[in-house]
Structure formats: structure tokens, C-alpha cells
Amino acid sequence: MARRAPNAGVYAVSGNIMLKDKTIVICVTGGIAAYKACDLASKLVQAGANVHVIMTRNAAEFVGPLTLRALTGNPVVRSLFDEIREFEIGHVSLSEKTDCLVVAPATLNIIGKVAQGIADDAVSTIISAAKSPVIFAPAMHTSMWNNPITQANVARLKELGYRFVGPDRGPLASGGWGIGRLAPSQEIMYHIETVIAGRGTDLTGYKVVVTSGPTREPIDPVRFLSNPSTGRMGHAVARAAVARGAETLLISGPTSLPPPSGVECVEVNTAAQMFRAVMDAAADADLYVGAAAVADYAPKNASAVKVKKDDASMAHVELEKTPDIIASLAARRRESGDHRLVLVGFAAETDNMVEHARAKLVEKGLDLMVANDVTQPGAGFAVDTNVVTLVRKDGKPTALPKMAKREVADRVLDEALALLRQAGGGSTQPASD
């Protein structure tokens, strides 16, 4: 079982209209990652947003303002005293008409200035004057990020309601490896979409454990039993949870998806490994979302060496049941008498979807089941959308229309949050920023 620290994830830019006609301001500060602001600006424009860029003087040493102007179609502000007047339209300033402001990259310097109330250039001034949500995407050397002064400033800004995405771990410009990389554009966009959707950091104070992907049950060192799960749904849930402020742990079977920024990931292969990881991680969790496609059966006696094609044993592989992870969590919850852990399961069905999902919910002792018919177009495996029905212990099932898996994730977490508040555990944070 491998444990990975928070890292960058890649997801397809969603096909929803969250960003269409929204005004996004990108504040670019003077770090080596400043050139990556071009990619972020380009993706936001492609999503239909009206993008404006404000740069510090040092940022212009790393990336040309003309490049960003060409990408956005808007003038780039570099000084409080010249181009800023181009943003005055009908006496409404840019800070008043912005839907979201993102600082990418956010250096140690800009984080420190804003935390201490210093506004001595165009970037620090518009951040200080912003009426819209502000997202910081830090990028700096590991030692600078770990500096206790930086951490104190970050903590102060978070307390004041500013959001942070990243930094990630990986190779650094200095040639070393560590935390300090700018989060990928897609991850930053996910946080922007979360803000624009009106969802605050309502999961702050909660610990959320999510499973994702398939499991692989070995027959021998080169063959295994598995399923077509890609992990997109589970990873979307983890991404949504961390964007909403939760301490998030992702336990993932084999996928091609890196974990989202800010999410700790435990990598597993088999159902047994996932079972052990979940039972350990969920001991102090508030919410468990079982989105993984865990194998129901595994070969009873896996061979330590490759079985030859003509070996008779290949025609008769004896199977045994794997541990039922979520049912085991429910049993432990029931035996302990502590019902603060909310349990959400996923049920992939091909017929009588709601009936089968409700039966599983009751039998396993869950709080919510997310059911989908994998035979429907746009649902199931290897697609970016899903069509689900939310099945509760009480009340009628809620059928959701086809939507991006990231939107499904938020709807599931909305339901889970209501259950968390009923359970009385975890956060006492307000529902929005």
C-alpha cells in the first residue's frame, strides 16, 4: 500500500456553463511560475469567462503583458496610475464587478502583504478592495512555503475567508523536489467554479474519506480480475470535498488519475488492501463516500508465479468473497453506538436500479446510496458525466439529470452535509464563506 502526499490532478474542463460570462481577475505575481498564468487565462477564456489580468512589476519580468492581453482580449494592468483607468466602465470599478479573483502564482511576498494589510501596488490594492471571493494559488520554494512566518500569514488569511489551492509537491525550478509547485490550471478552475456555484467552505472542520477506482485481484503476477472503473467519480468527490474545506483522504485503486491538489492519497491494489486502509482512515472520519468499484470476489489461491496457458488450473479459478468495506464500517458504527460517521455508498446497476439500491442501503445500514444505471448513455464508466438517483433511508428517491461528475459530486456532498449536521459531529462552520 503506497501513500502519496497531496499532488496535482488533471480533469477534463467541464462542459457546464458555470464560467460563461463571468468576470474573473487573475493577479500574477513575480515567481517563476508566472508563465503558467497564460494557460489558466486561456482555459478560462475557452470556458466563456471574461478574463482580466493584473500584474506586479516583477511578474512582467517572467511573462510578457502582451501575451496575456492577446489571450484575454483585455488590457493588462501593471500600475495603479495608468491602465487601471481602462477598467472604469460607467463608474463601476473592476473590483466591484468581479465574480472571482485568483492570485496565480501567489508568492510569499503577496501573501505577506495582504495578510498585513499592505496595499502598495495594483495587485495588492485590488485584492484588498475585492468584494468577490479571492483564491490564492501559492508557488514558491519549499523552504519559503514552510517558513513559519508564511504559514502564519496563510493561516491568518484562511481565518479571514480567503481560499487556497495548492501548492503541490513535485520537481521545483531550483532542481529539487518538494512542496511549492503551482496547482494545475484545471484544479484552480475547479475552485473558481466552486466559488461561482455559491458553495462556500461548508465542509471546513470535517474529515472526509473517499474511495475511488477499481481493485485488482491477482490470479498470478501477470493476470488479475478487475472492472472498467476509471476513478473519475471518486476523484471528483475528493476534489469537491477539499474545495469545500474538508480534510480529505482519497483511497484509490489503480487509475491513471493523479490525486487532486490538497488531497492526501493512499494507493492500493486489492480489495483487502482497500479494506485495511479504509478501516484505519475512517476511525476518526466524519464522512465516508464509497465510490470505488471494489471487486466482490477474488481468487482464493493466487499463484506466486505465472500460470502457463495450458495449465488446467486456469480453467477453474476458485473464488472467495472480498470484505464488504462499507457494511463493515456500518457494523462498527452500530456496535460502537457512535453514529457521527455518515456513510454514503454508490451502486452501479443494470436493472431495477432504485429497488436494488434501496435494498443495499437497508441491508448494509447506510445513510445514502447514489445509484446509477450503467447502461444509460452518459452514465457509468469512462465518461465525464453521470446520471444518478439519490436514495435515502427516508423519503422519495431524487433522480438527477445528466450532469458532469464534478456537479454530481457536489450534489452528493450537499446531501451528505445535511446528514452530517443531523448527526451532530464535525464542523460548526457556517454554510458559506
- Is the Cβ–Cβ distance between 53 and 28 less than 8 Å? yes
- Of 50, 74, 227, 301, the active-site residue reads 227
Q: Nearest 5°: phi and psi at 118?
A: -95, 130
Q: Which of 405, 427, 377 is nearest to 212 (CA)?
A: 405
Name the nearest CA neighbour of 231 among 207, 265, 203: 265
- In the annotation, is 227 catalytic? yes
CB 54 within 8 A of CB 110: no
Q: Virtual CA dihedral for 59, 61, 67, 71, nearest 10 degrees? A: -10
How many whole angstroms separate alpha carbon 406 and alpha carbon 15?
A: 10
CA distance 361 to 338: 19
Contact between 87 and 51 under an 8 Å Cβ cutoff? The reply is no
Q: Give the closest residue to 265 by CA, choosing from 242, 287, 284.
A: 242
Which own/partner contact pairs does 305-311 have at CB distance under 8 Å and 24+ positions apart? 305/220, 305/221, 306/220, 306/221, 306/222, 307/219, 307/220, 307/223
Render the burial of 104-143: b for 16+ CB within 10 Å, e for the rest.
Answer: bbbbbbbbbbbbeeeeebbbbbbbeebebbbbbbbbbbbe
Q: Which residues of 332-364 are buried (b: 16+ CB within 10 A; e: fewer)?
A: ebeeeeeeebbbbbbbbbeeebbebbbebbeeb
Are 235 and 260 in contact by the 8 Å Cβ rule? The answer is: yes
Q: Catalytic site residues?
A: 227
